Structure 1
Amino acid sequence: MPQTIAAPVHFELIIKKSRFIACVQPVSDRTAAQTVVAGLRVEHPAAAHVCWALLAGGQSAAVDDGEPSGTAGRPMLDVLRHQDLEGVLATVVRYFGGVKLGAGGLVRAYTDSVAQALLSAQKIPIIKLQTLRCTVPYPLEGLLRRELELAGAQLAGVSHGEAVAFEFSLPATEAAPFQTQMNESCAGRITWLRDEA
C-alpha cells in the first residue's frame, strides 16, 4: 500500500570531508518540488550540488545536478520507490570536501543519506477514495444515513427533491461491497447515479 510521510525528516552524512544534507518531505507535485529545490539553492549558495528525487501525483524525477549521471537522483528515487512512498520529495545538498568518492561511493552516499532520513519518518498509508452518488425514497433516508456513519463514509452533500440524493466518499476497496449491502438493505429502492461524461 502506498504511503506518504507526515512531516519533513532530515539526516546529515559526512564522508571524506564531503557533507551530504538530506531532507525527505511531503509535496503535492513537481511544481512544489521545484520551489523547494530553488529555495535550497538560495539557502546553500556554496553547495556543489543540490540533487533531488520526486514521486508525487503520478510524476517522478531524478536529478543529478552535475554529479556523474545516475549517481545521485536515481539512487535517491530508488529508495523512495523501495519504501513504496508517494507524494514525497527527497533532496540532498552536497558540500564537496575535496576528495572524490567515485561512482560507487556517490551512489552509497546519496542512498544512505535518504534512507537514514526516512528511518525517523512517520509514514501514513494513502487510502484512495471513491465518490458515490445515489437517491433513495424519503422513508429510507434515516437507514442510509446510519449505514454511511457505520461505514465511516465522508458525506459530501444531501439534497431533497422528489427523492433524497446523497453524495459521499468511501475507501475504493469498500465501495462495491457497500453498494451491494445497500441494494439488499433498501430492497432495490436505491438508485446509484453515474457521472455523465
Structure 2
Amino acid sequence: MAFTLLGPCEYREEIRKSRFIALAAPVASAADAQAFIDSHSDLAASHNCWAWKVGNQYRFNDDGEPGGTAGRPILAAIEGQDCDQVVVLVIRWYGGIQLGTGGLARAYGGSAAKCLQAGERRELVVRQSFTCHLQFAELPLFKARLNEFDSLIESENYDATGARLQLAVAPAEHAALERLLGDISRGRESLQAP
C-alpha cells in the first residue's frame, strides 16, 4: 500500500557541525517535482540533493557529493516509507568536518526518512481514467457531487454545448459515479474509457 504526503513538511538536523534541512512535498508529476526543487533549493548552501518518485518514474541527484551518497539514500528513504508521488530535497551546509561516504549516506537518508515520518500522510488510491461530456447546465451539480466519489477531474475541454471531462475514478466508486452521471444527464451520458 503506497502513501503520499498531505502537504509539505520539513525536518532540521545538525550532524558533526553540518546543517541538514530536509523538505518534502506531494507531487503529481515530474514537472511538479522539478518545480519544487527549483523553488526551494538554496544556492548559498553547499549541496542541494534530492530525489522524487511518481509511479514507476524516479530521479535523484547528488549535487556534487560523492556518487551514491545523497540522492540514492534519499530515494531509498522514500521507498522505505512506502511513499509515492513525493519529492524530497535535502539541503546541506558544510560544517568543516568530513562525514565520509557512509556518514553522508546515513545523514542524507536519515534526514529524508525523518522528514517523511514527520509529515502527515494519506493512502494513495489507484484511479482509472474515464471521459464524459456534460452540458453547461449539468456541470455545476456534477462537480459539486464529484467529491463524494473519491474521483478527480484531470482536464476539461469546452465546446459549444458543454465540456468533455477527463476523470480519474476510484474503482470502488465506478458504479455509483456511473449512476450519478446517468441521473444528472437523464440517461444521455455514461463513463467512457479513453
Give the structure-1-normalised TM-score. 0.67
Change (3 A) 1:25 1:152: closer
Q: Which amino acid aligns with 2:30?
A: R
- Which residue does the alignment assign to 1:88? 86
Map 1:3-152; keep pairs closer than 5 Å. 3-41=3-41, 44-130=42-128, 152=149
Runs of 5+ unmatched residues, structure 2: 132-145, 154-165, 180-189
Runs of 5+ unmatched residues, structure 1: 134-148, 157-166, 183-191
Counterpart secondary structure, 1:119: helix
Instruction: Please give the per-residue CA displacement for 1:42-67, whole angstroms capped at 9, x wherever unaligned.
Output: xx222110000000253201110000
Change (3 A) 1:105 1:193: closer
Aligned residues with identical type, % of pairs: 36
Change (3 A) 1:103 1:87: same
Counterpart secondary structure, 1:24: strand
Q: CA deviation at 1:119?
A: 2.1
Change (3 A) 1:169 1:91: closer
Change (3 A) 1:153 1:103: closer
> What is the RMSD of the two structures over their aligned residues, measured on CA atoms?
3.2
Counterpart secondary structure, 1:89: strand
Instruction: Please give the per-residue CA displacement for 1:52-111, whole angstroms capped at 9, x wherever unaligned.
Output: 000025320111000000000000101111111111100001000111100110011011
Change (3 A) 1:93 1:128: same
How far apart in 1 are the matches of 2:98 and 2:152? 58
Q: CA deviation at 1:193?
A: 7.8
Q: CA deviation at 1:31?
A: 1.8
Residues 28 and 57 in structure 1, CA contact (< 8 A), matched pair in contact too: no
Q: Which amino acid aligns with 2:40?
A: L
Change (3 A) 1:68 1:171: same
Change (3 A) 1:154 1:97: closer
Number of positions where the alignment pairs a residue of Structure 1 with one of Structure 2? 158
Q: Which amino acid aligns with 1:88?
A: V
Counterpart secondary structure, 2:45: coil
Moved over 6 A (4+): none
Change (3 A) 1:99 1:128: same
Q: Which amino acid aligns with 1:101?
A: L
Counterpart secondary structure, 2:118: coil
How far apart in 2 are the matches of 1:102 and 1:81? 24
How far apart in 2 are the matches of 1:155 and 1:104? 43
How far apart in 1 are the matches of 2:25 and 2:127? 23
Q: Which amino acid aligns with 1:11?
A: Y
